[in-house]
Structure 1
Amino acid sequence: MNSSQLPAKPITRRGYADGPFGQVHYQNLGDGAPLLLLHQAPMTSSQFDYVYEPLARRGFRAIGIDMPGFGGSDATPDTPTIGDYAQVVPAVLDALGLEKAAILGHHTGALAATEAAVVFPSRVSALIINGPLLVDEAGLREFMEGLHEKEKAFHAEPEAGHIVNIVKVRDWLAKGAIPPERLSDYAVQALVGRGAYWWGHHAAFTYDQAARLPLVTQPAMILTNTGDVIHNHAPAAHALRPDFAYAALEGSGVDIVDEQPEAWADAVAAFLHPAGNTLQADITA
């Protein structure tokens, strides 16, 4: 993706639901089978700007949710958990008059989607885990002593130095594949939340997804891309649930929805049919 390849952002329908921690902001596009989208941290439902329209073309009603403390959604009163993030799913479904929907989460959102599928099985028809994260004791200790301390120390700096740092990190993660306009957008998304900057990754790394995966009863797929920094967690998660479908896109970085929007939407649609059916065979793109 370069500057000339950036399409116009779609005009989505926006709204608010009354959730357990206050207002929950969501946006949606399309009139097909409902598909909830939960974003990575620290971003918003605008992470999916360039896949709302491809999903709508494939027969879905794509519904992006700002999880508590992100974007336009009110924050939890205390340090949130992945369980707290999952709590907003029924609120949005109720606001839209939907009995159930398929759900897809990316990175932190993938953990929240997993938890929503476990806690609200009657409201979630199918699950797509786009970037699982299996954290053992060593991984948690490394996070708490490293990234966690850096994020807790995050603060506004003169001449917008903190924004420059966000852009530099995201450019590194994207391996230079994302244009400056979108990198700037990433930084804005990271800073508009109502919660503490460090909350999202703290919730993610303190969540035991390995213990929750056996409790998922819905048809599910693990979706990954080989250039993702946590790609190695995907085959490990699949080993825990070999009955889950598995799709691996080639290359790209963390921002797979921006780098390969059509291929990504194809992988989603190959698993989730608008009629609500699922493909159980493994897919490799």
Structure 2
Amino acid sequence: MTAATPALPATPRRAYVDGPWGQIHYRRMGSGRPVLLLHQAGMDGRQFDAVHPLLAARGHDVVAIDMPGFGGSDCPPFPPRVEDLATGVLAALDALGLNSVSIIGHHTGSMVGTEVALSGAVAVDRLILNGPMPLTDAERDAFFTEKLPREKQWLPQPGAGHFVAFAQVRERLVAGTLPIERVNSFLLQALGAQAPFWYGHNAGFGYRHEDSLPRLECPTLILTNTGDQIYDHARRAHALRPDMAFVALEGGGVDIVDQQPEAWVAAVAAFLA
């Protein structure tokens, strides 16, 4: 008697829609209330691999978009601002027929989610800012004068030296908390996109979250974790908007979605409910 073939794990379906600068790639899974996932800079919709099925299992139509220039999405012919990335996201939502969504954005994705909510082009019934980043002028200037020039050096090198150097950076950030296979996925997301790596942080640090946060009117959760590199910025965001809900998971790092998927989904689901 032949053994039955094991069922494959459920994974999101992948597809494309047309956007303002070419095609926009997305992953979609589940049914019910639409939830939009927006990734951080240097990654794509695969950032949410660990939580996409968990959210879908809770009765949500979960859509993870690769923002323009990231993942499988075509890149604008210029370094995009957060506002431009939001324009691409809105075009994708329109093509998908989604005029009412809940949004979860991580780091730069939280800024893009903010702009989508402020646009008024779609109804955002819940907004989760996982790592908002209001900056001081000194912090913004330091990035553009010190860090950005270094990021622009992440260019293809003979012998794939840029991959080796970036892998060392990501392994240091993960600090042994995740399998090396997942670190490899982070590496491919960061250096396999159409946009140069520096485009993402250039957009994020150029955005003035300190100005846009006060203008948000939809129910909003500031979600963070104490080990995040920008944990203090999330606290700063809450000081700007003490009326917003605030949840801080313990520990973790920039990869909290992978490090604590169950706790992350529980915090998200509680607010969406």
TM-score class, shorter: over 0.9
Provide the residue aligned with 2:31 in structure 1: 31
How far is the alpha carbon of 1:232 from its aligned partner?
Answer: 0.6
1:270: Cα distance to partner?
0.3
Question: How far 1:88 sits from its partner (Å)?
Answer: 2.1
Per mean C-alpha deviation after superposition, the further-off stretch among 116-125 and 104-113 is: 116-125
Question: Is 1:167 aligned to residue 167 of structure 2?
Answer: yes
Contact 2:118 2:215 in 1 (8 A): yes
> 1 CA distance for matches of 2:51 and 2:9?
10
1:56–1:167 distance in 2 versus 1, CA, 3 Å: same
Which whole-Å CA distance do the structure 2 matches of 1:120 and 1:73 have between them? 24
- Rounded Cα–Cα distance in structure 1 between residues aligned with 2:267 and 2:149: 36
Gaps of 5+ in 1: 1-7, 274-285
Partner of 1:105: 105
> Within 2, Cα distance between the matches of 1:58 and 1:197?
34
Alpha-carbon distance between aligned partners in 1 of 2:10 and 2:182, rounded to the nearest angstrom: 15
Q: CA deviation at 1:10?
A: 4.3
Distance 1:260 1:76 in 2: 34
Q: 1:45-64 residue pairs with structure 2 within 5 A?
A: 45-64=45-64
Per the alignment, residue 280 of structure 1 pairs with none
Whether the aligned pair in 1 keeps the contact of 2:20 and 2:88 (CA below 8 Å) is: yes
Partner residue, 2:22: 22
- Taking structure 2 as the reference length, the TM-score comes to 0.93
Preserved contact between residue 90 and residue 123 of structure 1 (Cα < 8 Å): no
1:55-103 C-alpha deviation (Å, 9 max, x unpaired): 1122212110001100111111211100001112322222222221011
Hey, what does 2:238 align to over in structure 1? Answer: 238
Q: Following the alignment from structure 1 to structure 2, what is the Cα–Cα distance between the partners of residues 24 and 120?
A: 21
Question: Number of matched residues?
Answer: 266
What does 1:216-227 correspond to in 2, within 5 Å?
Answer: 216-227=216-227
Confirm or deny: 8 A CA contact 1:227 1:253 kept in the other structure: yes
SS at match of 1:232: helix
Q: Is the 8 A contact 2:50 2:261 kept in 1?
A: yes
Residues 124-171 of structure 1, C-alpha deviations (whole Å, 9 max, x = no match):
222100001112211112111222011111112232221122121112
Q: Which amino acid aligns with 1:243?
A: D
Q: Which residue of 1 aligns with 2:194?
A: 194
Contact kept, 8 Å, 1:121 with 1:218, in 2: the verdict is: no
Out of 46-55 and 91-100, give the one that drifted further: 91-100
Instruction: Give, in angstroms, the shift of residue 201 of structure 1.
Output: 0.1
Alpha-carbon distance change, 88 to 123 in structure 1, aligned in 2, over 3 angstroms: farther
Q: 1:278: which partner in 2?
A: none
Change (3 A) 1:84 1:213: same
Residue 251 in 1 paired to residue 251 in 2? yes
2:72 alignment counterpart: 72
Deviation at 1:197, TM superposition (A): 1.8
Pairwise CA distance, 1:173 = 1.6
Q: Is the 8 A contact 1:9 1:50 kept in 2?
A: no
8 Å CA contact retained: 1:82, 1:112 = yes
Which residue of 1 is the match for residue 4 of structure 2?
A: none
Q: 1:9 to 1:136 in 2, by over 3 A?
A: farther
Percent identity reads 50
Quick check: 136-145 or 78-87, which moved more? 136-145
1:261 deviation in Å? 0.6
2:117 aligns with: 117
Unmatched 5+ stretches in structure 2: 1-7
SS at 1:146's partner residue? helix
Which letter maps to 1:241?
A: R
Structure 1 stretches of at least 4 aligned residues deviating more than 4 Å after TM superposition: none
Q: Please name the residue that 1:88 is paired with.
A: 88
SS at match of 2:128: strand
How far, CA to CA, are the matches of 1:147 and 1:10 in structure 2?
A: 40
Select between 158-167 and 206-215 the one with higher mean Cα deviation.
Answer: 158-167
What secondary structure does 1:101 align onto? strand
Q: TM-score, normalised by structure 1?
A: 0.90
Question: Is the CA contact 2:12–2:53 (under 8 Å) kept in the aligned structure 1?
Answer: no
Residue deviations 1:246-271 (CA, integer Å, cap 9, x gap): 11111011101100111100100000
Post-superposition shift, 1:121?
5.6
Distance in 2 separating the partners of 1:261 and 1:54: 9
Task: Give the aligned partner of residue 4 of structure 1.
Answer: none
